[in-house]
Amino acid sequence: MNCCGEKIQYFLKQEYGEAVSVSTIYRILNERYQLRSKWKKYCKPRHVKKGSKPRESVQTDTVYFGQVFAFTAIDTYTKEASVIMRPSLTSKDGEKALKQQLKEFQP
C-alpha cells in the first residue's frame, strides 16, 4: 500500500486486531526488503573545503524550481551567497551565471 511503519501498525490493529510495535515492523521489513542502500548507510557527508580568507573557496550548486533553475554560489569563509536565476540548465546558461557570480565575488 506504499505506507510507513505507523500506517502498517494502524492497519494491523484495525483489520487483524494485532498490536505490533513500529520497530518490529521495520525489523521485519528490513529482513525481507532492502530499505536503504547497504553502502550508503554509514557514509559520512562529503567534506566541504572551508576557506581561510574571503574568496578562497566558493561552493556552487544548482536548484530546479519547476520553470527556472537557480545557480547558487556560497563563499565558505564569509557565507556570502549569490543566486542567479536562468531559464534552463544548458552550458550557455551556466556560463552566463558563472561569469555574473565571478563579477559579484570580485574583491
Q: Is residue 82 part of a domain?
A: yes
Query: Does residue 39 share a domain with residue 67?
Result: no
Q: Is residue 52 part of a domain?
A: no
Q: What cell was used for 7?
A: 500506517
Query: Does residue 33 share a domain with residue 3?
Result: yes
- Using CA atoms, how far residue 55 sits from 23, 59, 93, 102, 106, in Å, is 48, 10, 23, 10, 8
Give which of 66, 75, 72 is closest to 85, Cα–Cα. Answer: 72
- Give the structural domain span for 92: 58-104
Give which of 101, 103, 95 is closest to 74, Cα–Cα. Answer: 101
Task: Render each residue's pLDDT in the chain as its tens digit; 107 residues.
Answer: 567 778 888 888 888 888 888 888 888 877 766 666 655 555 566 677 788 888 888 888 898 888 899 999 988 888 889 999 999 999 999 999 999 998 888 87
Query: Does residue 34 share a domain with residue 72?
Result: no
Number of domains in the chain: 2
Q: Is residue 49 part of a domain?
A: no
pTM of the model: 0.55
Q: Is residue 84 part of a domain?
A: yes
